[in-house]
């Protein structure tokens, strides 16, 4: 009836015949971790009187967001890039034995993130149409460049898996050309933050009650300005990263990777639940 025994007698069964002690360790790894997690949860209940945890709930809410998972993946991806750069300068490091694994992890995460970018251009299409109607050149350019990058990123995916074939481009050369679009996008985003800061300060000077006249309004203005400055710092980092990844200006992976970790952390922090 069965191709392989479902319960025992085969290495893929629930209870396979043991081949060695290391084989036994491999088999109990999953159940042992599950048991440890249950024990920790019981200890937590005894210590606090409840199974509930505000931090645990926030972590779960954070992980449930696709954007949050993407940015955490990006942090790990760029940390792997940084490690690879470090190993170029320290070939005798104990980590050198894992160089191939680190590279594989970086590549796997990059493609997982690229797979999940399908459809990510959708919210920007209405924004582009509205910007065109309003005649806002900066917003038009921002949205148009970003949409173009995302669409061309999908084309890179199709080239890589062989569904599309271009005579003039290999998948990698197409990808590097496309990275110039996202590099330009970071410049536009930086300019957008400068515009927003100037707009807020102008409203404050004109006595606009939204940003002046009360402690609450002033705090709101200060927070908005701080958020935009943080984003500007992020865009500076990503601009430098893309110069290197696109091979426009070759730098060193170890610090480019760290820049990627920091910029991804800034993005991920925006996804952290506030309540």
Cα torsion angle, 160, 261, 86, 190, sign: positive
* Band of residue 225 on the pLDDT scale cut at 50, 70, 90: very high
What pLDDT shows up at residue 223? 95
Span 30-48, average pLDDT: 95
34 pLDDT more than 90: yes
* Band of residue 4 on the pLDDT scale cut at 50, 70, 90: confident
How far is the C-alpha of 141 from the C-alpha of 148, rounded, in Å? 10
List, for residues 79-136, the tens digit of each pLDDT value. 999 999 999 999 999 999 999 999 999 999 999 999 999 999 999 999 999 999 999 9
With a pLDDT cut of 70, the percent of the chain lying above it is 100
Read off the DSSP letter of residue 275. Answer: -
CB neighbourhood size of 218 (10 A): 13
* Band of residue 246 on the pLDDT scale cut at 50, 70, 90: very high
Span 143-158, average pLDDT: 98
3-state secondary structure of 8: strand
List, for residues 48-94, the tens digit of each pLDDT value. 999 999 999 999 999 999 999 999 999 999 999 999 999 999 999 99
Q: How buried is residue 169: exposed, middle or buried, by Cβ count under 10 Å (0-12/13-18/19+)?
A: middle
Mean pLDDT, the chain, whole residue set: 95
How far is the C-alpha of 260 from the C-alpha of 241, rounded, in Å? 7
- The label of the residue with tokens 């392989």 reads 4
* Band of residue 1 on the pLDDT scale cut at 50, 70, 90: confident
What pLDDT shows up at residue 170? 96
5 pLDDT more than 90: no
What pLDDT shows up at residue 105? 98
pTM above 0.95? no
Contacts of 270 (CB under 8 A, 6+ apart): none
């Amino acid at each position: 009836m069965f191709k392989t025994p479902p319960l025992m007698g085969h290495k893929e069964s629930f209870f396979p015949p043991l081949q060695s002690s290391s084989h036994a360790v491999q088999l109990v790894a999953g159940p042992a971790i599950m048991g440890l997690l249950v024990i920790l949860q019981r200890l937590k209940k005894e210590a606090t009187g409840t199974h509930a945890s505000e931090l645990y709930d926030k972590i779960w809410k954070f992980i449930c967001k696709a954007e949050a998972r993407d940015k955490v993946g990006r942090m790990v991806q760029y940390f792997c890039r940084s490690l690879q750069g470090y190993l170029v300068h320290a070939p005798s490091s104990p980590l050198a034995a894992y160089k191939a694994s680190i590279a594989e992890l970086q590549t796997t995460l990059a493609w997982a993130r690229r797979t999940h970018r399908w459809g990510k251009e959708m919210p920007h299409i209405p924004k582009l149409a509205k910007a065109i109607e309003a005649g806002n050149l900066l917003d038009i350019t921002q949205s148009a460049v970003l949409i173009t990058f995302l669409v061309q990123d999908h084309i890179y995916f199709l080239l890589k898996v062989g569904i599309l074939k271009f005579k003039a481009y290999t998948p990698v050369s197409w990808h590097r050309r496309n990275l110039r679009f996202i590099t330009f996008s970071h410049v536009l985003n930086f300019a957008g933050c400068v515009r927003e800061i100037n707009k807020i300060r102008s409203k404050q000077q004109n006595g606009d009650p939204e940003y002046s006249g009360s402690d609450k309004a002033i705090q709101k203005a200060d927070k908005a300005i701080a958020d935009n400055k943080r984003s500007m710092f992020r865009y500076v980092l990503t601009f430098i990263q893309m110069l290197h990844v696109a091979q426009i200006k070759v730098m060193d992976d170890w610090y480019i990777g760290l820049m990627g970790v920091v910029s991804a952390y800034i993005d991920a922090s925006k996804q952290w639940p506030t309540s």
